[in-house]
A and B are shown apart, each in its own frame.
Chain A
Amino acid sequence: MNNHETPTPINAKFFSKGAIILSLFALIGALGYIYRLISGLDATTNLNNEYPWGIWIAVDVATGVALAAGGFTTAALADIFHRDKYHSLTRPALLTAMLGYTFVVVGLLADLGRYYNVWHPMLPSMWQGNSVLFEVGICVMIYLTVLYIEFFPIIIEKFKGHVKLPGLLSRYNSLVESFLKISHRTLYRVLSLFIIAGVVLSCLHQSSLGTLMVIAPYKMHPLWYTPILPLLFLLSAISVGFPMVIFESILSSWSFKLKPELKTLASIAKYTPILLFCYLSIKIADLAIRNAFDYLLEINIQSIGFILELGIGVVLPMMILFQRKKRYSINYLFLSASCIVFGILLNRINVFLIAYTPPFSTGYYFPSLIEIAVTIGLISGLILVYRFMVIHLPVISIERVKFNVISKKHESKSTIKG
């Protein structure tokens, strides 16, 4: 890579104040998670026969998958459409996607009544081609593998040339070294095949996640029930891809006291308002065709949820990002990216929980403390692993001349290059 920016391990302490707080959350979440695996769903969640799905599906799985869309959208832009100036964003996006999907699977396990059977869909004898969930499951599984393969070169880059295994294992040093060399050579040749596969797989399961709820026409509130839910899910996932990359790039530059890559981020943000505009138009047209506008006039949790989702998640950030000046303001950029990320969260919660109104319902669903703790714990855990990896692996690109904090970065960079 002969860009002026090279991915470099960040020189920072792992346990900052924030990281300690996050560790605490992650620990509480882990305890809740273990308690769930041992004692069952009734003891730990507020799920019941009327509301079989809760936040572990709506947030951990559905939102998790959507927010990992930065991986495939950035890869498509930088690698397939060859917009090379965005290359510095691909690695953080890839790492987010890889960790995002890993945690989606971890979160899903907590929700499955028989989590130890999670491998069943892999058995050809149990394949069920009519099931939307089967397609989602298989796609996510393959995509996760693709993500690990795509990430592997970063690991190679870190260790190739200086493998030092501890103790007895050191006799295998040269073996591992040659393995890395061979995989380095082959991977660089075929990586583009995997990158395209990643984009195709993403399109498939991002949309299929929307198809999931199409099977419940009599339970879904008309504001969200539409046969084009898969299209809306795909489009919203594509729309949130870049904002998610912006969101976390700014966050990590603040956390590591680096200079934000404002120019690149502002530049990639120019696509977002156009995507949001398409999404909004389709959403409104869909409401109009289905004559569902009247439901917005009723004041209830559904209409409020719908208006918040579109207002905060789509309209507001679209208005901000259409203005070039505001795209180049770090605060506005961060605000609008946060809005879109929040909007996706709201949308997935709306589709899977708020819109879900079973005909014979006696109550409503609100997550239990343990459900919330596990969800927050998973998010915290993800951020911590992300932090750990960018400290130790060449993921984030730092502008060589302009960075302002510690000069040690030069050293770490040169060791990597050497």
Chain B
Amino acid sequence: MKKDRRNFLKLTTAAAASMVPAVSGASIEHDEEDFNDVFGVLVDTTVCIGCRNCELACNQENKLPEQPNGHFSDKSVFDSRRRPSVESLTVVNSCMDSNVLDDLNGKSYGKIQCMHCNHPACVSACIVGALTKCNHGVVAYDAWKCIGCRYCMVACPFQIPAYEFKEALKPRVMKCTFCYDRIHDDKKPACVESCPVEALTFGKRGDLIKLAHSKIETDPDSYFDHVYGESEIGGTSWMYLASNEFINYDLPKLTEEHIPSTTESIQHGIFKSFLPPLALYGFLGLIMHSIRQDEKKEAETDEQS
């Protein structure tokens, strides 16, 4: 809500300054601009070598269950497709399309984790506001508020949040934290810092988008001409470059429409200043009192005939 109001203020001042009448298109442009300042990561799958250092760094930073020695250098994991889980908030998979893989000498990898959407469905879904979109872009989770309904998992279009089903009394929703504490200390997320080949670039989302497009421009043969996450479901903090279809890296095909927009407009339509419920209440009250004795009799004879 606060964000909306700020948008509106910025929008009106911008419109006044440039003497351009505000049109509906302008607000969409502005919306995206607003998310230029949040943090993001650009994943260049053409650079990734599948070393899994990021998985190791994530494991240590988030104090996830310890894994046996050599676990994170085991390349056999690429034989199957893995999903983020309560034990690994990020996983690296190899390219799904075997033809593409052959062209690239069997080496093409993509890392997946929470995308930290600009308009997160999980945040909109959460019944108690345990999930929040912070100003610096992180979608953060507060286990203390959580009631464990798992509606966030239903809502996420990337199928990311995992749940500690095995935990009997204090299960948590588990997903990439974007190394919230590290970012606060002006450090890069653990995975980004651990990457030996700079497949991961941490920075302001707006800068990353520019970087991504300049990469595509300078080397159009190596890249599929699309920055995944720039506009998907209204944009995400984590964005991707690839040499081929993004679905090969478990990134589903999505439109630009914000996921929560439909449910929220239904929701707010029904509850607009509580008018519709009150109107229904008044209407029913009116019926209750206006139907008189003669109509009652009519109803009684109705079926008898």
Contact = CB atoms under 8 A, between A and B. Distances in A.
A81 B287 contact: yes
Contacts of B287: 80-81
Contact of B163 (A49, A135, A208): A49
B145 interface: yes
Interface residues of A, number: 68
Contact of B264 (A81, A115, A130, A358): A130
Q: Which of A118, A131, A132, A135 has the most CB of B within 10 A?
A: A131
B38 interface: no
A359 interface: yes
B296 to A, nearest CB: 5
B147 A114 contact: yes
A49 B291 contact: no
B169 A199 contact: no
A40 B165 contact: yes
Contact of A214 (B266, B270, B271): B266
Contact of B154 (A79, A135, A137, A219): A219
A52 B271 CA distance: 28
A111 B171 CA distance: 12
Contacts of A38: 168
Interface in B74-98: 81, 83, 85
Interface in A82-141: 82-85, 111-115, 117-118, 120-121, 126-135, 137
B267 A130 contact: yes
B295 interface: yes
A82 B128 contact: no
Interface string A219-245: 100000001001000000000000000
Contacts of B151: 131, 133, 212, 215
B250 A207 contact: no
Contact of A211 (B81, B85, B267): B267
B89 to A, nearest CB: 12
A120 B288 contact: no
Given A214-B262, A218-B254, A40 B169 contact: yes
**Secondary structure type dominating chain A contacts:** helix
B147 A118 contact: yes
Contacts of B284: 76, 80, 196, 199-200
A121 B127 contact: yes
Contacts of A214: 262-263, 266
Contacts of A42: 165-166
Contact of A128 (B81, B126, B266, B296): B126
B303 A130 contact: no
Contacts of B83: 49-50, 360
B259 interface: yes
B263 A211 contact: yes
A169 to B, nearest CB: 37
Contact of A200 (B161, B281, B291): B281
A38 B168 CA distance: 6
A204 interface: yes
Given A80-B287, A84-B300, A130 B260 contact: yes
A267 interface: yes
Interface in B125-161: 125-129, 145-151, 153-155, 157, 159, 161
A127 B267 contact: no
Interface in A148-188: none
A372 interface: no
Contacts of A219: 154, 157, 159
A330 to B, nearest CB: 17
Contacts of A342: none
Name the residue among B125, B149, B167 with the largest chain A CB count within 10 angstroms.
Answer: B149
B20 interface: no
A49 B162 CA distance: 5
B154 A131 contact: no
Contacts of A84: 296, 299-300
Nearest to B153: A52
Contacts of B263: 132, 211, 214-215
B164 to A, nearest CB: 8
Interface centre among B168, B171, B252 (most CB of A within 10 A): B168
B229 to A, nearest CB: 15
A45 B264 CA distance: 31
Contact of A134 (B127, B169, B171, B296): B127
Contacts of A79: 288
A196 B157 CA distance: 39
A20 interface: no
B154 to A, nearest CB: 6
A53 B150 contact: yes
Given A82-B296, A130-B264, A132-B263, A196 B285 contact: yes
Contact of A204 (B168, B169, B270): B270
Contacts of B129: 126-128, 131
A49 B267 contact: no
Given A84-B300, A121-B127, A128-B126, A113 B146 contact: yes
B19 interface: no
Contacts of A111: 149
User: Max chain A CB contacts within 10 Å: which of B166, B260, B267?
Assistant: B267
Given A42-B165, A52-B163, A214-B266, A133 B171 contact: no
Nearest to B266: A211
8 contacts: A41-B163, A43-B166, A82-B299, A113-B146, A120-B147, A121-B128, A130-B260, A219-B159
The 3 closest A-B pairs by CB, nearest first: A113-B148, A40-B168, A42-B165
Interface of A: 38-43, 45, 47-50, 52-53, 76, 79-85, 111-115, 117-118, 120-121, 126-135, 137, 192, 196-197, 199-200, 203-204, 207-208, 211-219, 227, 230, 263, 267, 270, 356, 358-360
Given A113-B150, A215-B263, 11 more contacts: A49-B85, A52-B150, A76-B284, A113-B148, A114-B147, A118-B147, A126-B128, A129-B268, A214-B262, A219-B154, A267-B303
